[in-house]
Every structure is written in C-alpha cells, then in structure tokens.
Amino acid sequence: MKRDWIATARTLSDALPHLQRYDGARVVVKFGGHAMGDDEALARFARDIVLMKQCNVHPIVVHGGGPQIEQLLKRLAIQSNFVDGLRVTDEATVEVVEMVLAGRINKAIVTALNRQGGKAVGLSGKDADLMICEKTMKTTRDPESNIEKALDLGFVGTPVEVNPGLLETFIESDYIPVIAPVGVGRAGETFNVNGDTAAGAIAGALKAERLLLLTDVAGVKGADGEVMTDITKDQAESLIASGVISGGMIPKCRTALDAIEAGVDAVVILDGRAPHACLLELFTSHGAGTLIRAA
C-alpha cells in the first residue's frame, strides 16, 4: 500500500512541469463517440475536466450526439436520409437535432460536471450569436456522366463567424462552458453543425493552445498501421494525398489543419474510450493519440 502512495506522489510530482506549461491555457475538448453513452465513462471524463479547471487550465467542451439523434428520429418515425454519408437535415429533423443536442445531451454533460464539483453551464452555438453559419454546400460527381451536381443537405451548416466574447467571460471565471453544435443563420435559421467542425471553429476563434478531438480510435495510423504520436501539418497533407489517411479520419485531420491555420497551437486526435485520455495528453510526458502541429 505504501508503494502505491509513493507511486501516486511521484505521478503528481512528474506532472508539475506540464501543469506549469498549461497554466492559464485554453483547451477545447470535442467529446463524442461511445463514451457519451456510458455513464461510467461520462463521470470519468467529467472528473478529468473539473480537475483541469482546478489546475487553472480552461476547458471548453464541445459535444456531438449522432447516435442519440438517430435513436429519437426512429422513435418519432422521422425518415432520415443520407447523401454521400451526410445526413440530410430537413425542418422536422433539425428540430430533433436541436432538442437532442442542446437539450438532453448538453444537460447530461453539464450535470456530470457539476456532480464532480465543477460549475458547468450549457450553451449552443445560437447563444449570443456564438456560431453564425451558412448552409453547407457539397457537390458530387456522377460516375457515369462525370457531371458534377450540387447536393442539398437542408439545414446543415458551416460556421462562417464565431463570436467568442461570451466564452471569454466564462474562461475568466470558474465556469466550464459546454457547447452543443447547433448554429444560427443570419436570418435566424437553425443549423446542424458537425461536432468536430464546431470544435475546430471555436478553438480557432479562441486561439486555443490545444484542441483535443476525442474519437473511437487510438489516433492517426501510418502506413505500417501503427499510431503516429507527432506529425506536422505538411506531413498530414502528404498522408492524406497518398491515401494513408483515409475514410473518416480525413475530415478529422482536415478539422485539425483548419484549426491550426486559424491559430490553434496544436491539435490532438486521441481515443476518448481510454481512461483519463485528456490528462495523459496534457499532464504527462507520454501524451496520448496523435499530435498535429504547424511545423
């Protein structure tokens, strides 16, 4: 037992230089994946976020909720269509999206943080015009005719303006903002925004020291199938071009590259299922997942 105490004390002592490095830092954390549906994982995540705030690191949590949206749509018998892997969001669907993201999921995370002794407050991108969006425009190419055509995704939005003034107020206080990725159009429309995209846009507007994208994989894998711990922006571009980075990892890496271009120091893609992933990344020499940096 004494040996365990010494090991714990050594861990805390080893964390000191990392605590000093991130003192006062802004860290945007995208929370999603399977961990969101697991009460124990949510409680563990909440404890880690509250600990970060206690250590004078300023976490800003942005969450997703695709599986939970899908469940409610099915219960309400609302047909949900996809075009090239993207959910078409009509008026009925966007109401459900806002209900689930800004309601049930957002408040579950806020409650979990508060139960761990934090002071969390739930927001969406519509609050104080935090995230102003325009309709996402996508195109596809017909494989037979090779003609490019536009895709109408309905109320799917891309952030074009982020106003972080409200978040600055929380950062200077004891409060932890938890943001649902629902944006507002210039005419007052409600837009469904991809959670990673929202987190990247918010991190860029805040010039955050770190953007942590919690996902269901260990990180970005190289040609040998092993997770790469540290890559530059140019290396990430080359890996995408060569096909080493493929599938669902491409949009995550694109989000990372856009965030770095907007002024984020570095982005980490890491496994949100791993216990204490955020703490391992910030407060240990080992880190976690794949860090993507400018150079």
Considering 66, 103, 185, 222, which one is annotated as catalytic?
Answer: 66
Reported as a single tens digit per residue, the pLDDT across 274-287 is: 889 999 999 988 77
- Mean of pLDDT values over 194-222: 94
Q: Which range scores top for mean pLDDT: 14-28, 150-164, 196-210?
A: 196-210
Considering 33, 183, 195, 287, which one is annotated as catalytic?
Answer: 33
Span of 61-65, 144-148, 169-173, 212-216 with lowest mean pLDDT: 144-148
- Residue of 147 and 198 predicted with greater confidence: 198
Name the average pLDDT for the chain.
Answer: 91
Reported as a single tens digit per residue, the pLDDT across 42-75 is: 999 999 999 999 999 999 999 998 888 888 999 9
- Type of residue numbered 44: R
Q: Is 66 a catalytic residue?
A: yes
SS3 track for the chain: CHHHHHHHHHHHHHCHHHHHHCCCCEEEEEECHHHHHCHHHHHHHHHHHHHHHHCCCEEEEEECCHHHHHHHHHHCCCCCCEECCEECECHHHHHHHHHHHHHHHHHHHHHHHHHCCCEEEEEECCHHHCEEEEECCEEEECCCCCCEEEECCECEEEEEEECCHHHHHHHCCCEEEEEECEEECCCCCEEECCHHHHHHHHHHHHCCCEEEEEECCCCCECCCCCECCEEEHHHHHHHHHHCCCCCCHHHHHHHHHHHHHCCCCEEEEEECCCCCHHHHHHHCCCCCCEEEECC
**pLDDT of res. 1:** 58
Considering 196, 204, 272, 287, which one is annotated as catalytic?
Answer: 196
For each of the domains in the chain, give its residue range(s) and CATH number, in order of start.
22-293 (3.40.1160.10)
**pLDDT of res. 11:** 83
**pLDDT of res. 84:** 63
Q: Is 85 a catalytic residue?
A: no
Considering 252, 271, 272, 289, which one is annotated as catalytic?
Answer: 252
Reported as a single tens digit per residue, the pLDDT across 240-270 is: 999 999 888 998 999 999 999 999 999 999 9
Q: Is 53 a catalytic residue?
A: no
Measured torsion, CA atoms of residues 48, 53, 56, 59, in degrees rounded to the nearest 10: 90
- Residue 156 binned pLDDT confidence (cut-offs 50, 70, 90): very high
- Calpha distance 83→88 (Å, rounded): 7
**pLDDT of res. 7:** 82
- Residue 147 binned pLDDT confidence (cut-offs 50, 70, 90): confident
Reported as a single tens digit per residue, the pLDDT across 87-137 is: 788 999 999 999 999 999 999 999 999 999 999 999 999 999 999 999 998
Taking the model in full, what pTM does it have?
0.92
Q: Which of 244, 242, 238 is nearest to 221 (CA)?
A: 244
**pLDDT of res. 3:** 65
- Mean of pLDDT values over 27-44: 85
Q: Are 233 and 267 in contact (CB under 8 A)?
A: no
**pLDDT of res. 39:** 87
